[in-house]
Chains A and B, each alone.
Chain A
Amino acid sequence: MRRLDARQTHVIRFTLNGRAVEAHCSPRMLLSDVLRGELGATGTHVGCEHGVCGACTVRIDGMMARSCLTLAVQVEGATVDTVEGVAPAPGRLSVLQDAFRKHHALQCGFCTAGIVMSLDTLLRDAPDADEARIRDVLSGHLCRCTGYHAIVQAALEAVETLRKETDHA
Chain B
Amino acid sequence: MAKDVPHQPMPRLEDAPLLTGRGQFFDDLPVPHGTLYAAILRSPHAHARLRAIHADAARGLAGVHSVLTGEDYAGVAAPLMVGVRLPIECWPIARHKVRYAGEPVAVVLAGDRYIAEDALDLIEVDYDPFAPVLDPVEALDADAPVLHDEMGGNLGSDRQFTYGDPGAAFDDAEHVVDISVRYPRNSCTPIETYGVLAQWEPHGQSFDITANFQGPFSIHPVIARALQVPGNRLRLRTPEDSGGSFGVKQGVFPYIALLAACARLADRPVKWVEDRLEHLTASVSSTNRAITLRAAVRGDGRITALDYDQVEDVGAYLRAPEPATLYRMHGNLCGAYDIANLSVRNRIVMTNKTPTGLNRGFGGPQIYFVLERLMQRIAAELDLDPVEVIRTNLIPTDAFPYRTASGATYDSGDYVRAFEQALKDGRYDALVARRNERRAEGRMYGIGLSVAVEPSVSNMGYLSTVLTPEERARSGPKNGAQSSATVHIDPVGTITVQLDSVPQGQGHKTVAAGIVAERFGLSPGNIKVVAALDTSKDAWSIAAGNYASRFAAASAGAVCIAADRLRDRLAWIAAAQLNVVPDDLRFEGGRIFAAGNPDAALPFARVASAAHWAPATLPELDGSPIRETAIWTAPELSAPNEADEINSSLCHGFIFDFCGVEIDPITHEAHIDRYVSMHDCGTILHEGMVEGQIRGAFAHAIGASLYEEYAYDEDGAFLAGTFADYPVPTVHEIPDLEIYHICTPSPVTPLGAKGVGEGNCMSTPVCVANAVADALRPGCGEVDLVLPLIPARIAGFLQDEPRAPEGQEKRRETGGKGLSGTGQARVDAAPQDIWDLLMDADQLAAIIPGAHGVKRLSPTRFLADVTLGVGPVKGRYRVDVALSDLDEPRSAVLTGKASGALGTGMGEGRVTLTPDDAGGTLIGYAYDASVGGKVASVGGRLLDGAAKIVIGQFFSALGRRAGDPTHRQGIFARLRARLGGAS
Interface residues of A (CB under 8 A from B): 26, 28-29, 36, 41-50, 52-53, 55, 82-84, 86-87, 93, 97, 100-102, 104, 106-113, 116, 135, 138-152
Q: Counting CB contacts under 8 A, is B16 at the interface?
A: yes
Expressed in whole angstroms, the Cα–Cα distance for A148 and B689 within the complex equals: 14
A35 CB to nearest chain B CB (Å): 10
Residues of A within 8 A of B724 (CB): 50, 52
A20 CB to nearest chain B CB (Å): 19
Tell whether, in the assembled complex, residue B8 and residue A45 are in contact, meaning their CB atoms are under 8 Å apart: no
Q: Which residue of B lies closest to A17 (CB)?
A: B21
Q: Counting CB contacts under 8 A, is B1 at the interface?
A: no
Tell whether, in the assembled complex, residue B734 and residue A43 are in contact, meaning their CB atoms are under 8 Å apart: no
Tell whether, in the assembled complex, residue B737 and residue A147 are in contact, meaning their CB atoms are under 8 Å apart: yes
Stretch at the interface among B187-195, B298-306, B949-957: B187-195
Residues of A within 8 A of B698 (CB): 147
A62 CB to nearest chain B CB (Å): 19
10 contacts between A and B (CB under 8 A): A45-B191, A47-B243, A49-B275, A52-B723, A86-B20, A102-B8, A107-B506, A108-B504, A110-B241, A146-B695
Q: Counting CB contacts under 8 A, is B934 at the interface?
A: no
B752 CB to nearest chain A CB (Å): 22
Q: Counting CB contacts under 8 A, is B814 at the interface?
A: no
Tell whether, in the assembled complex, residue A48 and residue B242 are in contact, meaning their CB atoms are under 8 Å apart: no
Tell whether, in the assembled complex, residue A142 and residue B728 are in contact, meaning their CB atoms are under 8 Å apart: yes
Expressed in whole angstroms, the Cα–Cα distance for A141 and B723 within the complex equals: 11
Stretch at the interface among B22-30, B532-540, B549-557, B640-648: B22-30
Tell whether, in the assembled complex, residue B190 and residue A108 are in contact, meaning their CB atoms are under 8 Å apart: yes
Residues of B within 8 A of A82 (CB): 21
Tell whether, in the assembled complex, residue B734 and residue A149 are in contact, meaning their CB atoms are under 8 Å apart: yes
Q: Counting CB contacts under 8 A, is B244 at the interface?
A: yes
A-B contact count (CB 8 A): 170
Tell whether, in the assembled complex, residue B191 and residue A110 are in contact, meaning their CB atoms are under 8 Å apart: yes
Given contacts A45-B243, A49-B276, A83-B21, contact A104 B691 (CB under 8 A): yes
Expressed in whole angstroms, the Cα–Cα distance for A97 and B20 within the complex equals: 8
Q: Which residue of A lies closest to B191 (CB)?
A: A47
Tell whether, in the assembled complex, residue A106 and residue B21 are in contact, meaning their CB atoms are under 8 Å apart: no
Q: Which residue of A lies closest to B62 (CB)?
A: A7
| Majority DSSP secondary structure for residues of B touching A | loop
Q: Which residue of B lies closest to A104 (CB)?
A: B688
Q: Counting CB contacts under 8 A, is B876 at the interface?
A: no
Tell whether, in the assembled complex, residue B21 and residue A44 are in contact, meaning their CB atoms are under 8 Å apart: yes
Binary CB contact string for chain B from 700 to 712 against chain A (1 if under 8 A, 0 otherwise): 1000000000000
Binary CB contact string for chain B from 471 to 492 against chain A (1 if under 8 A, 0 otherwise): 0000000000000000000000
A160 CB to nearest chain B CB (Å): 13
Tell whether, in the assembled complex, residue B731 and residue A106 are in contact, meaning their CB atoms are under 8 Å apart: no
Tell whether, in the assembled complex, residue A150 and residue B692 are in contact, meaning their CB atoms are under 8 Å apart: yes
Q: Counting CB contacts under 8 A, is B422 at the interface?
A: no
Residues of A within 8 A of B246 (CB): 144
- The winner among A41, A47, A108, A143 for most chain B CB atoms within 10 A is A108
Contact of A144 among B27, B506, B700, B731 (CB under 8 A): B700
Tell whether, in the assembled complex, residue A144 and residue B20 are in contact, meaning their CB atoms are under 8 Å apart: no
Tell whether, in the assembled complex, residue A107 and residue B692 are in contact, meaning their CB atoms are under 8 Å apart: yes
Given contacts A48-B276, A107-B696, A108-B505, contact A144 B191 (CB under 8 A): yes
What 4 A-B pairs are tightest by C-beta distance, nearest first? A43-B21, A108-B505, A110-B243, A109-B18
Tell whether, in the assembled complex, residue A108 and residue B241 are in contact, meaning their CB atoms are under 8 Å apart: yes
We find that the number of chain B residues with CB closer than 8 angstroms to chain A is 53
Residues of chain B in range 592-645 having any CB-CB distance to chain A below 8 Å: none
B733 CB to nearest chain A CB (Å): 9
Q: Which residue of A lies closest to B726 (CB)?
A: A52
Q: Which residue of B lies closest to A46 (CB)?
A: B27
Q: Which residue of B lies closest to A112 (CB)?
A: B18
Q: Counting CB contacts under 8 A, is B153 at the interface?
A: no
Tell whether, in the assembled complex, residue A93 and residue B19 are in contact, meaning their CB atoms are under 8 Å apart: yes
Q: Which residue of B lies closest to A139 (CB)?
A: B730
Q: Counting CB contacts under 8 A, is B519 at the interface?
A: no
A114 CB to nearest chain B CB (Å): 9
B601 CB to nearest chain A CB (Å): 31
Binary CB contact string for chain B from 167 to 205 against chain A (1 if under 8 A, 0 otherwise): 000000000000000000000111111000000000000
Given contacts A107-B696, A144-B188, contact A116 B19 (CB under 8 A): yes
Residues of chain B in range 673-700 having any CB-CB distance to chain A below 8 Å: 688-689, 691-692, 695-696, 698-700
Contact of A83 among B20, B114, B696, B732 (CB under 8 A): B20
Tell whether, in the assembled complex, residue A148 and residue B504 are in contact, meaning their CB atoms are under 8 Å apart: no
Tell whether, in the assembled complex, residue A113 and residue B731 are in contact, meaning their CB atoms are under 8 Å apart: no
Residues of A within 8 A of B243 (CB): 45, 47, 108-111
Residues of B within 8 A of A107 (CB): 244, 504-507, 692, 696
Expressed in whole angstroms, the Cα–Cα distance for A46 and B696 within the complex equals: 21
- The winner among A53, A87, A93, A148 for most chain B CB atoms within 10 A is A148
Q: Counting CB contacts under 8 A, is B15 at the interface?
A: yes
Expressed in whole angstroms, the Cα–Cα distance for A102 and B875 within the complex equals: 50
Contact of A36 among B12, B27, B193, B728 (CB under 8 A): B27
Tell whether, in the assembled complex, residue A29 and residue B114 are in contact, meaning their CB atoms are under 8 Å apart: yes
Expressed in whole angstroms, the Cα–Cα distance for A143 and B699 within the complex equals: 9
Q: Counting CB contacts under 8 A, is B796 at the interface?
A: no
Tell whether, in the assembled complex, residue A142 and residue B723 are in contact, meaning their CB atoms are under 8 Å apart: yes
Tell whether, in the assembled complex, residue A145 and residue B505 are in contact, meaning their CB atoms are under 8 Å apart: yes
Tell whether, in the assembled complex, residue B114 and residue A28 are in contact, meaning their CB atoms are under 8 Å apart: yes
Expressed in whole angstroms, the Cα–Cα distance for A144 and B99 within the complex equals: 30
Tell whether, in the assembled complex, residue B734 and residue A147 are in contact, meaning their CB atoms are under 8 Å apart: yes
Contact of A138 among B9, B188, B192, B731 (CB under 8 A): B731
Tell whether, in the assembled complex, residue A135 and residue B191 are in contact, meaning their CB atoms are under 8 Å apart: no
Expressed in whole angstroms, the Cα–Cα distance for A90 and B645 within the complex equals: 57
- Given contacts A47-B276, A110-B23, A147-B695, could you give 19 more A-B pairs where the C-beta distance is less than 8 Å? A26-B114, A28-B114, A43-B22, A53-B276, A83-B21, A102-B11, A106-B18, A106-B19, A108-B191, A109-B14, A109-B241, A111-B243, A113-B21, A140-B730, A144-B188, A146-B692, A147-B698, A150-B695, A151-B731
Tell whether, in the assembled complex, residue A101 and residue B275 are in contact, meaning their CB atoms are under 8 Å apart: no
Binary CB contact string for chain B from 232 to 244 against chain A (1 if under 8 A, 0 otherwise): 0000000001111
Residues of B within 8 A of A100 (CB): 15, 19
Given contacts A50-B722, A144-B728, contact A110 B20 (CB under 8 A): no
Residues of A within 8 A of B15 (CB): 100-101, 106, 109
Tell whether, in the assembled complex, residue A144 and residue B695 are in contact, meaning their CB atoms are under 8 Å apart: no
Expressed in whole angstroms, the Cα–Cα distance for A48 and B14 within the complex equals: 24
B676 CB to nearest chain A CB (Å): 15
Tell whether, in the assembled complex, residue B504 and residue A87 are in contact, meaning their CB atoms are under 8 Å apart: no
Given contacts A43-B21, A49-B276, contact A146 B191 (CB under 8 A): no
Residues of A within 8 A of B699 (CB): 144, 146-148
Residues of A within 8 A of B16 (CB): 93, 97, 101
Expressed in whole angstroms, the Cα–Cα distance for A106 and B19 within the complex equals: 8
- The winner among B15, B698, B700 for most chain A CB atoms within 10 A is B15
Residues of B within 8 A of A45 (CB): 25, 191-192, 243
Residues of B within 8 A of A106 (CB): 15, 18-19, 505
Tell whether, in the assembled complex, residue B696 and residue A144 are in contact, meaning their CB atoms are under 8 Å apart: yes
Residues of B within 8 A of A143 (CB): 191
Expressed in whole angstroms, the Cα–Cα distance for A151 and B699 within the complex equals: 13
Expressed in whole angstroms, the Cα–Cα distance for A111 and B505 within the complex equals: 11
Residues of A within 8 A of B731 (CB): 135, 138-139, 141, 148, 151-152
